Amino acid sequence: MSNADPVVGAGSDSEIGAIAPLPLGARLVHIGQMKTGTTSLQYAASSRRKALRELGVCYPGRKLHHRDEVAALRGPSARRWRGTPDIRKWERLLSEVRKVPEARSFISFELIVESDDAAAQRMVSDLGPQTYVVLTVRSFASLLPSSWQQYVKNGEVSTFEQWLRKVLRSGLSERPSGSFWERHDLAGQTSRWTAFAGQGHVIVVVLDKRRPELLSQAFEGLLGLPSGALVPAGEDGIQANRGMSPVEAELVRRVNVVLKEHGFASDDYYRIVRNGMIAALLRRRTPRQEEGLLGIPHWAVPRIRQIADHYVSALAENGIQVIGDPTSIAANGGEIVEPTAGTEILQEVAIDAMRGMLSRSAQRGFDFDHPLVPAERSAHPVGRATRRSRWFRRAHDVLLVDLSSERFADRLRPSSGSVLSDEELIQGAHVIDVSDAGRLIVADAAALLDRDLRTELRAQLRSPRVIVVENATGGSDEGAVWEQALVTGEVRPFSEWSAVRGASTRSLRSELERVFGHVLSVRAGTGISETLMRGRSRLTLDPRPRRVLSEEETGFVRALNLALRDTDLTRVERRVLIGIGVMDALRLSPPTVGVQDIAVHALSGVFSVATGRGAMFERSLADSARLVGV
């Protein structure tokens, strides 16, 4: 070992403190592995670029890590990293590093480890002979549950045991296959990079959960930085990239199962699920003890230990420099702790997941931390206005008021591709079609319980014809009107709401006659669709029947409304995301029992409307691709 090489050993405090920095001008390339604190390290470095430069370290670029630059170098083989940027991005990184030849440069992205021989060789060649490659690793047994969770965050549908059996089947072959082994075959990775960077230029940092400071200390020592320079300050669950609890992971996995069944675009998943639902869980929550722990099943322990021992031997045989205790790689994983979470915790997880998905769907950032400015509304993914045709001469407007539990009005859709027009005449009254037959306006019965709103709506209409849809058996349904109120944010249970609004609901038809004159009452399922839609070629009716929501399902919606009180969701957004996304998804799904079942259907329904698929995937993925942006 030369004087310039880092001092390495079994990881005692004195040995960690004795790490000699890499030579001036060295290029430290941190290539992985995943789930070893890489995100935390990148947050610390990217947030302190200027301070690091003053300390003689260049962390090039402007982003958290160097994915785009490395993807540009790798070319088409990096497509699953979500795009292949222009090669000029890699060239700009090289230029920035070369402008400060005396500085130690620090390049980090955990999937560099996937590079094939050609990409690894070119990276080392471009960066020069002063390239040092650093791998961070942890106990192999503890890595497996964390890795499965990472796959779940990217759409995996297998349970942990199903996934583990598949991974371990190829774990001892001469050339392990699959993306997991591309990322975690330590023996193969150290061999490849030693071949190109040279003996003594590949360093492995072995983490120890008992000493979390070892990660920052190792990189501070290698880069010649003072203690604490790479310790993240005040990081949240996203920045720390914390693992999900078994309860959280199972909710995400089950949503993945529904989305896989119907198909989805990877960009939509990344935007709405990964950066919405999952991000909210990581940022808003700290898992509770009752949510359990994911551990290694007994049947897998011998095979995992065999693989880990192989890695420890390979490090010694290949003369790889190690910071920390290499035997920690073969340490046992944690025991399985089954979840005992009750309804309260399950609902907390579900509501936080819903907040995140709704926020992303409505373009509000991770957790409603990005107010929607007026200029952005034209590109809004939900509540987008249909393209208006010219105004035709019309004899009358048609006002549709639905008092039935069959939800006829909720099944009307403009066929142009938008879920709902955002032309709102007054609160709760929307124009959903304009044709030779005149305007068709759907009004929420719950909104029309307000006398002033009824009067205001009458002033907005021209020679209106009012159609009231009643239950197939006749009469109105107070529960149906209460569910309409839930869409707009009502939090009271039905009994409390009915005590205040029940009388108004029962007299609504007569009040409409008083304000509008003649009112036509029709019963759901008696040919109303043919009569109403005659001459309206741009309007379609979803033929799928809706069921009545259970008390547990309406309770979930009320809890969601409480959680959304501090947000700025508009009425149109609520009508689309809550009315169609959540409540229609539940009505279209088989009866559900349990908070997690309800949450899976509700989250899937929001994803459907936010990606142009209508109520619970009424349109195919191919159709949505054609319709988005109309």
Is the sign of the CA dihedral 261, 549, 619, 570 positive or negative?
negative
| Block mean pLDDT (10 aa), the chain, length 630 | 42 55 97 91 95 97 94 75 78 97 96 91 96 97 93 95 90 67 93 95 93 93 95 62 90 96 92 94 91 92 93 94 94 81 91 95 86 50 40 66 83 58 74 78 90 90 87 75 93 94 89 90 70 68 85 96 93 89 93 91 95 86 49
Provide the residue type at 533 as one letter. M
pLDDT at position 197 is 97
Q: What is the pLDDT of residue 416?
A: 52
Residue 137 region by backbone torsions, left for phi larger than 0, else alpha for psi between -120 and 50, else beta: beta
Those residues whose C-beta lies under 8 Å from the C-beta of residue 333, and which sit 6 or more positions away, are 139, 141, 142, 144, 145, 295, 296, 301, 304
Q: How crowded is the C-beta side of 212, counted as CA atoms within 13 Å?
A: 7
**pLDDT, position 146:** 92
Q: Residue 517's pLDDT is what?
A: 87
Contact yes or no for 6/20 (Cβ under 8 A): yes
Phi, psi values for residue 134, rounded to 5°: -120, 130
pLDDT of residue 178: 75
Is the bond leading into 347 cis (omega within 30 degrees of zero)? no
First to last CA, the chain: 65
pLDDT at 619: 79
For 483-498, b where at least 16 C-beta lie within 10 A, e where not — what string?
A: bbbbbbbbbbebeebb
Rounded CA-CA distance 346/344 in Å is: 6
DSSP 3-state of 140: helix
In the three-class reduction of DSSP (H, G, I as helix; E, B as strand; rest coil), residue 99 is classed as coil
Angle among Cα 355, 361, 363 to the nearest 5 degrees reads 100
| Backbone torsions φ then ψ of 478, nearest 5 degrees | -60, -35
Q: Give Rg (Cα) of the chain.
A: 30
Ramachandran sector of residue 360 (left: φ over 0; alpha: ψ -120 to 50; beta: rest): alpha
The pairing of strands 202-206 and 539-541 is: unpaired
Taking the CA of residue 410 as centre, how many other CA atoms within 13 Å lie in the half-sphere pointing to its CB?
A: 31
What separation in angstroms does the CA of 39 have from each of 111, 206, 215, 248? 12, 16, 12, 20
Q: Is the dihedral of CA 67, 73, 74, 76 positive or negative?
A: positive
The answer to whether the CB of 504 falls within 8 A of the CB of 510 is no
Residues near 28 by beta carbon (within 8 Å), at least 6 away in sequence = 22, 104, 105, 106, 107, 132, 134, 219, 222, 223
Between strands 412-414 and 539-541, the pairing is: antiparallel
Contact 553, 545 (CB under 8 A): no
CB crowding 129-145: b at 16 or more within 10 Å, else e: ebbbbbbbbbbbbbbbb
